[in-house]
């Protein structure tokens, strides 16, 4: 419908209609002048005949606002109040409201559909609104061409559930090309072993990647400090390999290091998304147990990997990952145990070297072990694989041969630095 009021005045249209009624101008010419069809002309003609003096082509658009049910209104306010309490908690790393989360919560928890603008409107009217600071523009792009070309790996330490009254570590591995989260777990204590378990999970499932990308945390990298008057450093940066890096060296996987937090942005954004939703859900469900928090984390990982379109790739991570594999755009190599290794426990393990004494014994934390097939003064490589039963399996290797296997309580390994 042509908007006549933007092209003609009331008097101009009235004049044309009056001349039509006097048979001075045919209807088709008036329609062409006004740019309207017959139906619209007849409607104007009827309006003029009913009230010539009050005839007007001006109109006001009536905004029809649909009032939402009171139950939905109450639930929105209730959830916004919970959000406010989370933000006010200084121990929780959340500073802003997440209205999209409340929208999802309305559908899943209350089975109520509500639009995002409606939630934001209620937030502003009820003082549940914080304007986010302007952020500097940063172009997001994928710099890799294959899945498995670069695995982003990191951890964060936060109070994910205030009811638990303790901070947990979130360890995550992300494929750079597809943005597919390959691994995500919560642990109470961050150790070399927890990160080696992350390596084992990714590599056994997907194969050996081309490279890993991490920060300069001591678990991933030995960095020499400056010499002082009181201490001299004999090991330079990267001359000593931490346990985690030794595992990747055995797997022939390259390691690259980020020199700043900004360089780790690709994995920090999924971290931010996971942390945000994990914390909000743990608060609402009053989670105190890390195992229950892991269930919530798994649920959010499922949503991120299989349902959410990534803002950079414009694809769902899972489908981008699978399509790359179908098109042979992958640098993952098949996992195989390379001789002389005999087991996964010979690859993904904590290791330490010891020299046998004259009685063919070695010691760990003042515990002595009699090792079979070991000669005095020989160097033996201990590969320690923690088991779930509270004990660890020690596999003794010498001259590239497995010479013995023994068990030890995990408590006897306390105090050892790997």
pLDDT values of the chain reduced to their tens digit, one per residue, 418 residues: 457 877 888 888 888 999 999 888 888 888 888 888 899 899 899 999 998 888 888 765 555 556 889 999 999 999 999 999 999 988 888 888 999 999 999 998 999 999 999 999 999 999 998 877 665 554 455 579 999 999 999 998 999 999 999 999 999 999 999 999 999 999 999 999 999 999 999 999 999 999 999 988 889 987 665 444 444 444 544 556 899 999 999 999 999 998 765 555 555 666 678 889 999 999 999 999 999 999 999 999 999 999 988 888 899 999 999 999 999 999 999 999 988 888 998 999 888 899 999 888 998 878 888 998 889 999 999 999 988 778 999 999 999 999 999 998 888 877 665 4
Residue 268: what pLDDT?
Answer: 61
Residue 221: what pLDDT?
Answer: 84
Q: pTM for the full model?
A: 0.75
Q: How far is 203 from 250, CA to CA, in rounded Å?
A: 13
- Edge-to-edge strands of the sheet including 391-398? 350-355, 379-386, 391-398, 401-409
- Edge-to-edge strands of the sheet including 168-175? 181-187, 168-175, 151-158, 211-214, 254-257
Residue 135: what pLDDT?
Answer: 59
Largest CA distance in the chain: 128
Q: How far is 227 from 25, CA to CA, in rounded Å?
A: 100
Residue 226: what pLDDT?
Answer: 46
Sorted by where each begins, the domain ranges of the chain are: 4-50, 70-125, 151-224+236-326, 344-413
Q: How far is 322 from 378, CA to CA, in rounded Å?
A: 49
Q: Helices 317-326 and 290-306, interaxial angle, to 10°?
A: 60
| Angle at the Cα of 380 from the Cα atoms of 236 and 396, rounded to 5 degrees | 120
Residue 139: what pLDDT?
Answer: 47
Q: How far is 312 from 140, CA to CA, in rounded Å?
A: 6
Q: How far is 384 from 243, CA to CA, in rounded Å?
A: 11
Residues 238-253 as b/e (b if ≥16 CB within 10 A, e otherwise) read eeeebbbbbbbeebeb
Q: How far is 358 from 249, CA to CA, in rounded Å?
A: 33
- Other CB atoms within a 10 A radius of the CB of residue 166 amount to 11
Q: Three-state secondary structure along the chain?
A: CCCHHHCCCHHHHHHHHHHHHCCCCCHHHHHHHHCCCHHHHHHHHHHHHHCCCCCCCCCCCCCCCCCCCHHHHHHHHHHHHHHHHHHHCCCCCCCCCCHHHHHHHHHHCCCCCCCHHHHHHHHHHCCCCCCCCCCCCCCCCCCCCCECCCEEEEEEEECCCHHHCCCEEEEEEEECCCCCEEEEEEECCCCHHHHHHHHHHHHHHHCECCEEEECCCCCCCCCCCCCCCCCCCCCCCCCCCCHHHHHHHHCCCEEEECCCCHHHHHHHHHHHHHHHHHHHHHHHCCCCCHHHHHHHHHHHHHHHHHCCCCCCCCCCHHHHHHHHHHCCCECCECCCCCCCCCCHHHCCCEEEEEECCCCCEEEECCEEEECCCCCCCCEEEEEEEECCCCEEEEEEEECCEEEEEEEEEHHHHCCCCC
Phi first, then psi: what are they for 58, rounded to 5°?
Answer: -75, 145
151-224+236-326, which class in CATH? alpha beta
Residue 230: what pLDDT?
Answer: 46
Residue 63: what pLDDT?
Answer: 54
Residue 229: what pLDDT?
Answer: 47
Phi first, then psi: what are they for 172, rounded to 5°?
Answer: -140, 145
C-alpha distances in Å from residue 163, one per residue of 41, 168, 188, 292, 403: 70, 12, 15, 12, 49
The whole-angstrom distance between residue 317's C-alpha and the CA centroid of its chain comes to 11
Residue 227: what pLDDT?
Answer: 47
């Amino acid at each position: 419908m042509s908007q006549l009021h933007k092209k003609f005045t009331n008097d101009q249209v009235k004049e044309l209609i009056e001349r039509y009624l006097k048979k001075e101008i045919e209807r088709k010419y008036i329609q062409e002048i006004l740019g309207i069809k017959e139906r619209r002309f007849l409607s104007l003609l009827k309006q003029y005949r009913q009230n010539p003096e009050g005839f007007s082509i001006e109109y006001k658009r009536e905004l029809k606002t649909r009032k939402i049910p009171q139950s939905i209104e109450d639930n929105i306010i209730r959830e916004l109040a919970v959000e406010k309490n989370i933000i006010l908690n200084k121990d929780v790393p959340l500073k802003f409201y997440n209205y999209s989360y409340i929208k999802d919560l309305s559908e899943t928890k209350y089975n109520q559909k509500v639009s995002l603008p409606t939630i934001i409107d209620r937030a502003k009217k009820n003082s549940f609104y914080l304007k986010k600071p302007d952020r500097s523009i940063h172009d997001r792009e994928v710099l890799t061409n294959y899945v498995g070309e670069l695995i982003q790996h990191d951890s964060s330490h936060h109070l994910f559930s205030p009811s638990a009254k303790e901070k947990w570590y979130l360890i995550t591995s992300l494929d750079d090309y597809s943005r597919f989260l390959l691994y995500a777990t919560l642990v109470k204590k961050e150790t070399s072993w927890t990160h080696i378990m992350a390596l084992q999970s990714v590599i056994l499932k997907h194969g050996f990647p081309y490279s890993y990308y991490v920060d300069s945390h001591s678990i991933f990298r030995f960095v020499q400090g400056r010499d002082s008057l009181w201490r001299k450093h004999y090991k330079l940066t990267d001359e000593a390999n931490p346990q985690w890096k030794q595992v990747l060296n055995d797997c022939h996987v390259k390691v690259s290091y980020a020199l700043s937090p900004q360089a780790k942005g690709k994995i920090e954004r999924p971290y931010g998304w996971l942390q945000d939703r994990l914390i909000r859900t743990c608060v609402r469900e009053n989670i105190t147990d890390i195992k229950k928090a892991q269930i919530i984390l798994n649920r959010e990982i499922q949503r991120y990997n299989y349902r959410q379109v990534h803002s950079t790739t414009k694809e769902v991570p899972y489908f981008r990952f699978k399509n790359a594999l179908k098109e042979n755009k992958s640098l993952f190599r098949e996992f195989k145990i390379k001789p002389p290794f005999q087991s996964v426990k010979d690859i993904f393990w904590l290791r330490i070297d010891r020299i046998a004494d004259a009685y063919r014994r070695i010691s760990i934390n003042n515990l002595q072990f009699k090792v079979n097939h070991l000669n005095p003064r020989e160097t033996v490589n201990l590969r320690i694989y923690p088991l779930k039963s509270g004990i660890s399996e020690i596999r003794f290797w010498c001259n590239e041969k497995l010479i013995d296997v023994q068990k030890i309580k995990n408590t006897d390994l306390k105090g050892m630095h790997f």
